[in-house]
């Protein structure tokens, strides 16, 4: 019993600093049911506007289809999502698609299932199964990658302190994104969230670096 309590407390207090997503779009996963064709697509996205662009492209490509149902999820620490049935019965398409996104535990992703009606109604249960299955097929094809949740810092320091700053950058294996090398130097760095406070303190202790967290 003590072990169970310890494990629960560990997971409650441990801060997650990784997430899963996809980097490359995939498409044309096909599922057929009673004459209807369901075609699945998945895209990496960074905004709702980007999702709309991909949807518009699919509607042009499959202009004679009956439905373009989809679900997307955005965010890492603050999650936003949308599920759309596009004229199918309520919760028979968008939610089953979104359920597959959740089952893969991925984010920053759009899944679209295009339906060509085959003349036979499938009923709500049949639709749920068809959209769920198609979403699963395309997500099984996608290459899922794990990424870190990063914190970004802007550093300002004098050129004479360059060696001190670079020592921390190298020892802590920080990602140097941008640099401006003048009398007053500027660095933009990123660090894994779980190490962010430690790195910030290291630079603060130098007493010669101005450090500010930013959202690039």
CATH number of the domain within which 178 lies: 3.30.70.120
Domain boundary among 146, 180, 199: 146
Please, what is the end-to-end C-alpha distance for the chain in angstroms?
45
**Residue 89, SS3 per DSSP:** coil
Residue 45 lies in a domain: yes
**What is the spatial distance between Cα 57 and Cα 123, in angstroms, rounded to a whole number?**
28
For the question of whether the overall pTM of this predicted structure is more than 0.75, the answer is yes
Supply φ then ψ for residue 209, to 5 degrees.
-125, 130
Residue 7 lies in a domain: no
52 lies in the same domain as 102: yes
**What is the spatial distance between Cα 109 and Cα 182, in angstroms, rounded to a whole number?**
41
Q: What are the pLDDT digits (tens) for 89-128?
A: 999 999 999 999 999 999 999 999 999 999 999 999 999 9
Supply φ then ψ for residue 25, to 5 degrees.
-65, 155
Contact 187, 179 (CB under 8 A): yes
For residue 113, give the nearest of 89, 125, 96, 91 by alpha carbon. Answer: 96
Q: What are the pLDDT digits (tens) for 57-98?
A: 999 999 999 999 999 999 998 999 999 999 999 999 999 999
């Amino acid at each position: 019993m003590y072990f169970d309590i310890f494990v629960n407390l560990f997971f409650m207090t441990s801060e997650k600093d990784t997430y899963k997503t996809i980097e490359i779009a995939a498409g044309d996963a096909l599922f057929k049911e009673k004459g209807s064709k369901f075609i699945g697509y998945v895209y990496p996205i960074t905004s709702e506007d980007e999702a709309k662009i991909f949807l518009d492209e699919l509607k042009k490509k499959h202009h004679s289809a009956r439905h373009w149902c989809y679900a997307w999820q955005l965010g890492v620490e603050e999650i936003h999502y949308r599920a759309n049935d596009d004229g199918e019965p309520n919760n028979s398409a968008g939610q089953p698609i979104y359920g597959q996104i959740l089952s893969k535990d991925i984010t920053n992703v759009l899944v679209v299932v295009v339906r060509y009606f085959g003349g036979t109604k499938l009923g709500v249960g049949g639709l749920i199964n068809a959209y769920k299955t198609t979403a699963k097929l395309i997500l099984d094809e996608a290459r899922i990658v794990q990424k870190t949740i990063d914190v970004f810092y802007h550093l300002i320091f004098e050129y004479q302190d360059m060696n001190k700053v670079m020592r921390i950058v190298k020892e802590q294996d920080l990602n140097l994104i941008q640099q401006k090398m003048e009398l007053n130097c500027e660095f933009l760095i990123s660090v894994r969230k779980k190490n962010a406070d430690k790195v910030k303190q290291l630079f603060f202790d130098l007493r010669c670096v101005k450090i500010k967290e930013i959202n690039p």
